[in-house]
Amino acid sequence: MSQEELVVPKGWELKKLGETFTESNQKWLPDSESKIVNYIGLENIESNTGILVNFTPIDSSKIKSSKTIFTKNEVLYGKLRPYLNKVHLPEFDGICSTDILSLTPKSNIDRQFLAYFLRCTYVLSITNKSMQGTKMPRTKIQVLQEIQFSLPKISTQKQIVAKLDHVLGELEVK
């Protein structure tokens, strides 16, 4: 289904994805003070599931370049090689690679719903078509912001999230 063919169910609204989040642009700069920090790189986010893998807080003195600050209220979206589908819901505050976008959900979208939506094939197909660069292909925040979709009420979003969590939980058990 293309963006032009979107169906808007009764009670839902046609929105651009950019109307549901703001990008956190808070930067962390390395300094001479050594402290333990929660750093997430793209390699720490499992494709398609968003599960955090091989993560350990590290000494900040090992980080040599600026990073993006995130909070546990945000959604982390891997913009480098978007076909890898790396979307994570952090459970703590920290810093992340600048190849990860830190998105703060607005009041019209559930954080988990946003993460599920960012992982769906509809978003993947749009971001994959928009990649720029051959060696290190990336998508841009503007591409995400312009994606049109049908947004249900928060109560419906929570029901959808609960059903997806249930189904995915059953798949993990099998």
Evaluate the CA torsion angle 124, 130, 133, 139 in order and state its sign.
negative
Each residue's pLDDT tens digit, 66-94: 999 999 999 999 999 999 999 999 999 99
The confidence score (pLDDT) of residue 142 equals: 95
Q: Which of 155, 79, 109, 66 is nearest to 88 (CA)?
A: 79
Report residue 2's pLDDT band, with 50, 70 and 90 as the boundaries.
low
Instruction: State whether the Cα torsion 84-87-90-93 is positive or negative.
Output: positive
Per-residue pLDDT at 7: 80
- Amino acid in position 74: E
**How do 94-96 and 39-40 pair as beta strands?**
parallel
Q: How do beta strands 13-16 and 27-28 pair?
A: unpaired
Question: Is the whole model's pTM more than 0.85, yes or no?
Answer: yes
Give the per-residue pLDDT at 46. Answer: 97
